[in-house]
Amino acid sequence: MNSNDIFCKRILLAALGLGLLAAPAFAQQSKLIARANTMADKLEPQMIEWRRDFHEHPELGNHETETAAKIAAHLKKLGIEVQTGVARTGVVGVLKGGKPGPVVALRADIDGLPVTERTDVPFASKVTTTYNGQQVGVMHACGHDTHIAMLMATAEVLAGMKNELPGTVKFIFQPAEEGSPVGQIGGANLMVQEGVLEKGPKPEVIFGLHINSQTEVGKLKYKPGGTMASADIFRIKVKGKQVHGAYPWGGIDPVVTASQIVMGLQTIISRQIELPEDAAVITVGMIHGGVRNNIIPEEVQLEGTIRALNKEMQQQLHDKIKLTATKIAESAGATAEVEIIPQTPVTYNDPALTDKMLPTLQAVAGPQNVILAKAVTGAEDFAFYQEKIPGLFIFVGGMPKGKDPATAAPHHTPDFYIDESGMKLGVKTLTGLTLNYMAGKGKK
């Protein structure tokens, strides 16, 4: 029995279990999946070549012009309709299948990071650029190079079965996932604003994945509901009354008040949030105030980040930060102006969709390799798509087998390393999710 047979058997059991597929439709479906898996295997060497090329030539967010050109050329070669310049440097491809069916969106992010690579792989990046006035190295230190290569391979597999494909696929190659300058809209947010989910064929569902340098090759991690946190910025301006440091009673000290606010904010998390429901974080990352040891200044500014895993808690945190800061300031005779700048919503995996697609994940990776993961308090702008349509965002292993995750370099660091043999599973996951969703498994 080869692996495709085992795969088909799993799909059959899953399909019969759900009672969603009639026998002839199922036979057709399992043939398509088996073909997709064979094609993914065949494409692996080519996909690794693409990945190495992107890795060696990374580009920062909103500057991914060479990257976008390569993606667009590949999609065009496959006969896919291509739109470029979406959200500045994004590429969108539309593959219309030969049979009627739903529109499924698949997303990959394409930007690199201002990190100087320190690995000794032969295709290590030597690219440098100026970022925020500083000379920096550029590196695909979050694995987005693998995301591009996996989605390009997925496009090739699905384009190869265009006539039998029961639906339409929208390939979204998105720039600037790592963020745009504060105050500037970019990435997924801008793609959504420009109508990527509205114009042209309108997707009813979206799938995305992220490679992970600390998860073993061959494994998939998923979590229904909040899987990655919302990220919002807060700024607090504490105003007191300036006075000589020797005579504090003559003024109002914003340094002491700001310190009380920092501590007060932590009691929101520890005393007021129902932590067993979901985790939450408030971090003050900046405190600015004063110019000299013996002058109590007029003003102190605080700035920080707020992380939440569900919308209600996110709103609760915003309200409580405002209340805590203003009332502590008031008690000292000072004032606190609180500004909250929403950045990224919660990456929220639609529970019903996650439930329905779980058999697909188990079929592609093997049930023992599909891990129900804990939520992550980092953020991901895939959340913007999920605010509009149901979506599922999962993690794919990219750590060499047998390595200790504690010693594997984390994302965004100079030693970040991905074992390329993990990418194949990513392609099978994306094609499997697409084909099974189209066959009706994603619908009630």
How distant, in Å, are the alpha carbons of 91, 117, 279, 299, 300 from that of 291? 49, 38, 37, 11, 11
Q: Return d(Cα 19, Cα 13) in angstroms, integer.
A: 10
User: What minimum distance in Å lies between the beta carbon of 412 and Ni ion?
Assistant: 8
How distant, in Å, are the alpha carbons of 60, 86, 430 from that of 180? 10, 15, 27
User: What minimum distance in Å lies between the beta carbon of 75 and Ni ion?
Assistant: 22
Kindly tell me which of 78 and 142 has the beta carbon lying closer to Ni ion: 142
Kindly tell me which of 142 and 418 has the beta carbon lying closer to Ni ion: 142
Kindly tell me which of 210 and 320 has the beta carbon lying closer to Ni ion: 210
State the catalytic residue, choosing from 111, 253, 350, 381.
111
Kindly tell me which of 50 and 382 has the beta carbon lying closer to Ni ion: 382
- Ranked by CB distance to Ni ion, the top (closest) residue is 142
Q: Which of 43, 4, 15 is nearest to 159 (CA)?
A: 43
User: What minimum distance in Å lies between the beta carbon of 212 and Ni ion?
Assistant: 10
Q: Which residues bind Ni ion (CB under 5 A)?
A: 142
User: What minimum distance in Å lies between the beta carbon of 144 and Ni ion?
Assistant: 6
What letter does residue 272 receive in the DSSP assignment? Answer: I
**Identity of the residue numbered 334:** A
Q: Which of 58, 76, 79 is nearest to 67 (CA)?
A: 58
What is the radius of gyration, based on Cα positions, of the chain? 24
Q: Are the beta carbons of 281 and 229 closer than 8 angstroms?
A: yes
Kindly tell me which of 15 and 142 has the beta carbon lying closer to Ni ion: 142
User: What minimum distance in Å lies between the beta carbon of 142 and Ni ion?
Assistant: 4
Q: Return d(Cα 5, Cα 41) in angstroms, integer.
A: 15
Active site residue 330: no
Helix pair 423-436, 23-56: axis angle to 10 deg: 140
Burial 286-320 (b: 16+ CB within 10 A, else e): ebebbeeeeebbbbbebbbbbbbbbeebbebbbeb
Kindly tell me which of 348 and 393 has the beta carbon lying closer to Ni ion: 393
User: What minimum distance in Å lies between the beta carbon of 351 and Ni ion?
Assistant: 24
Kindly tell me which of 70 and 147 has the beta carbon lying closer to Ni ion: 147
Q: Which of 220, 244, 168, 186 is nearest to 60 (CA)?
A: 186
Q: Which of 108, 111, 137 is nearest to 393 (CA)?
A: 108
Strands 166-174, 99-109: pairing kind: parallel
Active site residue 111: yes
Kindly tell me which of 241 and 412 has the beta carbon lying closer to Ni ion: 412
Token pair recorded at residue 411: 């994302």
User: What minimum distance in Å lies between the beta carbon of 157 and Ni ion?
Assistant: 23
User: What minimum distance in Å lies between the beta carbon of 111 and Ni ion?
Assistant: 9
Q: Return d(Cα 357, Cα 443) in angstroms, integer.
A: 10
Instruction: Assign residue 167 a region (left: φ > 0; alpha: ψ between -120 and 50; beta: otherwise).
Output: left
Helix (H, G, I), strand (E, B) or coil at 385: helix
Show which residues are catalytic.
Answer: 111, 177
